[in-house]
A and B are shown apart, each in its own frame.
Chain A
Amino acid sequence: MKVKICSAAFNPWQEIQAYQATLATSAKFGATSIFIGTMRDYNEGDAVQSMTLDYYPGMTEKQLEKILTDAEQCWQIIDAYIVHRVGEINPDDTIVLVVVWSSHRGDAFDASRFIMEALKSTAPFWKKELLESGQTRWVEKNTDGYQKM
């Protein structure tokens, strides 16, 4: 299991392929669950030009590793990989990638959902948006991932 903080744009599909190629257990996993979070060009009714993602070097990695360890306690995971962007981010850039490899889909789906929700609520990252209007603002809270529209 691995976490990676990335200060430059990354291609999530290449990350998945490269990481999966390192797994010694390639014939063991029957399910791969992938979540990719991408930056939108709007938020709360405003056009967003770009964003800066701040983090707490050291604690952020530690917290992401804890989330993977917690997930491993609850689900049968063969491997898992988190990549998260920091720094200057533009619309369409990938912000986060979560991949879980498991024997079966139930563990893969449920563990990846748990990892994403735990990341959103406990991993020390903070977004500051630059709006098209030129105004900057901190994002104050994340949306509820379980809320029904």
Chain B
Amino acid sequence: MQAEQKQPVDHSGVPVEALEALRLRLTQLTHSLNKLQAEFKNPQLTHYVSLQAQLSIILTQLGSLSSTLSSYSDVLERTVAYPLPTFPTTEQEGLLTTLLRKKATPEVVEWIEESKSKNTDFLLKDDEDITKWAARCTVDTKEKYNFVGFKTKQEEREANGDDEKDVDIADEPAASSKYSVDQILKFMYQGDITK
């Protein structure tokens, strides 16, 4: 890939289209990640809405990158990069090894391992169970609360305890009432109940 101007080099084997597409996506992604990192370093943390917006942009860019990678996967898998004979191998060893490295760097390997171990509970085959569990949990929790009206579920339950009796009691025969309202008021105001 390291083309030198001095000698005519055959560029026809370089998958320019694929590499350009990837370069564009990667530039965008690096830019977004740098911006996010800079904001995290800022002593005053940005509003979470803005952070979420940035995260979703990054996720879109990651998605776009991975789809680009997969669409050029056959070309990229077949392509092998190597230094030209004229490349100053000894002087630029560091650059060369960086460029030709295929394995992930140790820290990246660590990240991958870490996230893999964290996600063992959520393996794809368990996904269906989790979905079911979440759906059931949502329904159960929803049952426990009132989202409309002025009463909490607890108040409603307590009130309902009496409700069931109401219908029966209303059918009971009336106990005979001896006094009229006037007489009761008379008792309350005059201490006397006679007519």
A and B are interacting partners: no
